[in-house]
Amino acid sequence: MNLTTLETTIGYSFKDKALLKEALTHRSYLNENPSWGVPHNERLEFLGDAVLELVVTEELYARFPDEDEGKLTALRAALVNYQFMAKAGTDAGIGAAVLLSRGEARDTGRARDVIVANAIEAVLGAIYLDSGYAECRKVINAVVMNGLHEIMKSGAYRDPKSALQEATQAKRKLTPTYRVMKEDGPEHKKLFKVAVYFENEFIAEGTGYSKQDAETEAAKAALEKIGDMGHTR
């Protein structure tokens, strides 16, 4: 693990390098390396999550003085959800630096995204302890808030199920329905496949580790497929 490269990427150099090591240490790594010397990152993640939410809230409040609470809440949710944070953590090099057991290192998809999202929050918590709020805010602006333009441009802050329902009601006077098509895997890690229908017309499907996630992915796929209802009859 090259801590110096990671520090350069995130734009912050730690005074206490042990804090960064702790932030990058997943619980599973300690099972195989009990003498590692620092604890796992869950306490730092807890702290970093709170700092992240406050900074993002302050930034949105300052940047959008004319937007109401509902729009600001939707934007914040898009910025701090695990998918966006996982992408931010991967882009910043945290995904490659996080320390995992051999089994966890083989995980992909949602499970890996959650680990990376948690790790970036832990890094933010470590920065807060190392230098305080102002430095943490600088890193959040550089690593997280820089994705705001793309979120605004793509409309990713809009809830896909709500967006699909609004479109179908406006153009076809109906409400989309969701049906669970398949469930795979053990109870603790079950994968759901859900299809979205307009009455009895199949439109698209999505998968996720909960029914809600699968419905959201199905709605996203439906919006992409039909161009936000632009090409439906």
Amino acid sitting at position 223: L
Residue 121 annotated as catalytic: yes
Can you tell me the distance from the alpha carbon of 202 to that of 195, in angstroms, rounded to the nearest whole number? 7
Phi then psi dihedrals of residue 100, to 5 deg: -130, 160
Residue 49 annotated as catalytic: yes
Can you tell me the distance from the alpha carbon of 210 to that of 178, in angstroms, rounded to the nearest whole number? 13
The one catalytic residue in 45, 104, 121, 205 is: 121
Contact (Cβ atoms closer than 8 angstroms) between residue 192 and residue 186: no
Which is nearest to 126 in space by CA: 58, 53, 46?
46
Can you tell me the distance from the alpha carbon of 196 to that of 44, in angstroms, rounded to the nearest whole number? 39
- DSSP helix/strand/coil, 178: strand
Amino acid sitting at position 155: G
Contacts of 227 (CB under 8 A, 6+ apart): none
> Would you state the structure tokens that stand for residue 20, as one six-digit string?
């960064």
Contacts of 200 (CB under 8 A, 6+ apart): none
Which is nearest to 203 in space by CA: 186, 228, 185, 184?
228
The one catalytic residue in 45, 49, 59, 130 is: 49
Q: Give catalytic residues, as residue numbers.
A: 49, 121
